[in-house]
Amino acid sequence: MTHISEPTHRLVPTEAGRIHLVEQGSGPLVLLVHGFPESWYSWRHQLPALAAAGYRAVAIDVRGYGRSSKPAATDAYRLTELVADNVSVVHALGEESAVIVGHDWGSAIASGSGLLSPEVFRAVGMLSVPYTPRGTTRPTEVFAHMGGGDDEFYISYFQEPGRAEAEIEPDVRGWLAAFYRALSAGTMPGPGDLVPYFVSPGGTLRDRWPDGPLPGWLGEAELDFYAGEFERTGLTGALNRYRNMDRDWADLAAHEGAPLTQPSLFIGGALDAATSWLSDAVKAFPHTLPGLVSSQLLDDCGHWIQQERPEETNRLLLDWLAELPV
């Protein structure tokens, strides 16, 4: 039996200061990028599986999260900066290239890394959020028109610095539990009910989120880990990703409509609202992802794919990785 090393925590230098990562295994490098509001820990089921299959699996804390640097400036969280962090991680690990896999915001960061640094990122895996090329309309204009009546879409709600933080800070653990519950299979509202993603005038996001037990994938210990991270760091660094969507749009002007040409993978949850909202992006894959190897929708799965369905996610990842050119 092949011996698998224990996960190792490291800090590596970047232009912003440092990125914290957790590494396991040896072989071709697979860089794992988490989403909101998570951490390297969201890949805890993938690290040993990838290592056992002969890969060097590395899960990072994205800038603004965990033990990674947290620059004060809001515009320090634009996509180009996060791509630069990923390139720095690859080089700091002594590698020239990597496969990159992201979930949620990490999916957008992974696809952006592949688009802007194709010489470094030779293949791109995306979970929950499909690749969507830069369009002609400023993102905040799109989100401002989502919903109905006076309700405000959550992405618009997140735009103003300090506003969402004021909701979250008094009870970080309770807010995270409600957020994870609202987007998980088995604990989310009924199909087609988008009410939890909207804010009433003068209200908060949590006002409309379901109460009840934790989703099956999230135990008290796992919730304690996430809560501990954000109670220590706050949520501003994480929320600043949303506050740079228009900057990203401007930064990517030269890449309007550009396809992502590397070998790629998409895994979505059939019950995930993100999959429904972005269904047109999935339909466009023949044009936007000409190197697509596999696109999968997991039945009865919500947003937190690699944690809700770790074994199935691991199998799909490993099948895809095995097909990539060495």
CA angle 232, 157, 187 (to 5 degrees): 75
Sign of CA dihedral 31, 161, 75, 228: negative
Lookup: tokens for 245:
């969507």
Helical residues (DSSP H) of 190-309, grouped into ranges: 220-233, 236-239, 245-251, 273-277, 279-283, 285-288, 305-308
The domain limits of the chain are 8-323
Cα distances (angstroms) measured from residue 217 to each of 21, 112, 194, 231, 245: 23, 29, 22, 21, 30
**Local structure of 198: helix, strand or coil:** strand
How many other C-beta atoms lie within 10 A of the C-beta of residue 152?
20
Query: Which pTM value belongs to this model?
Result: 0.96
Average pLDDT, integer, range 171-178 = 97
User: How many helices (H) does the chain have, and how many strands (E)?
Assistant: 15, 10
Specify the pLDDT at position 281: 95
Is 147 a residue whose pLDDT tops 70? Answer: no
Of the pLDDT bands very low, low, confident and very high (cuts 50, 70, 90), residue 192 is low
Residues 6+ apart with CB under 8 A from 3: none
Q: Could you give the angle at which helices 105-116 and 79-92 cross, rounded to 10 degrees?
A: 70
Q: Which residues contact 264 (CB under 8 A, 6 or more apart)?
A: 114, 123, 124, 125, 126, 131, 289, 291, 292, 293
Dist CA 224 CA 218 (whole Å): 10
Q: What is the pLDDT of residue 1?
A: 43
pLDDT at res. 208: 85
CATH code assigned to 8-323? 3.40.50.1820
Residue of higher predicted confidence among 143 and 120: 120
35-58 per-position pLDDT tens digit: 999 999 999 999 999 999 999 999
Catalytic residues: 104, 303
* pLDDT tens track for 61-72: 999 999 999 999
Ordered DSSP codes for 98-111: EEEEEETHHHHHHH
Per-residue pLDDT tens over the stretch 247-294: 999 999 999 999 999 999 999 999 998 888 899 999 999 999 999 999
